Amino acid sequence: MSNITPEVVLSYEKPARGYLCPLSANSYGIEFLKFEIKDYDTNRVVYQVAREPDPEPVPDTLDPEVENLIRSVKYTFPASFLKFKTVRTLLEFCVGPQPVGNLRMIERHFFKDKLVRSYDFEFGFCIPNSTNSWEAIYDVPEHSGAMVNDYVAHPFAHKSDSFYFVDNKLIMHNKAEYQYLQE
């Protein structure tokens, strides 16, 4: 599926059906080790996960259920998350034995299959066999009280696709679903 470019994913108006590249497309051995989401203004952590690098590469073919577990996540956030003004995310990742040029992540968020926001982050170059951290600080779109209630009333209707490119070639595609709970 080499025809999947950044411009293509930036044109999507609905979540992608399935995964747009195989696990084997990650020929750079990029592994996510830590991910954290904070309210930038209060420093309150709302999500954090960490793990050690996998000693063995993921097989090229997996049972679809297992592959989905590897490539997707379901988040549960407090409804107050939707009222944050600014969010800070920190991603720690390692790369394999070859250089990674022009690493870019495009994340498209949809609610009830309608595009609600899009993020486009460029990390740049990663040296071989390195562990890197990627911090992003960004404004969160304002949500009315009615919109917050709509998100709360429809758990997992908020979905996102995260596309990772190296030199404009798609190497990873992950998915997420979100639910928001009243505190």
% of the chain exceeding 90 in pLDDT = 83
Q: Does the structure show a pLDDT above 70 at 160?
A: yes
Mean pLDDT computed over every residue of the chain: 93
Interval 75-125: pLDDT, tens? 999 999 999 999 999 999 999 999 998 999 999 999 999 999 999 999 989
Task: Quote the tokens at residue 63.
Answer: 């049972």
Cα-Cα end-to-end distance for the chain = 43
Q: Model pTM greater than 0.75?
A: yes
The pLDDT confidence band at residue 1, using thresholds 50, 70 and 90, is: very low
Spell out the alpha helix ranges (H) of the chain.
Answer: 6-10, 64-71, 145-153
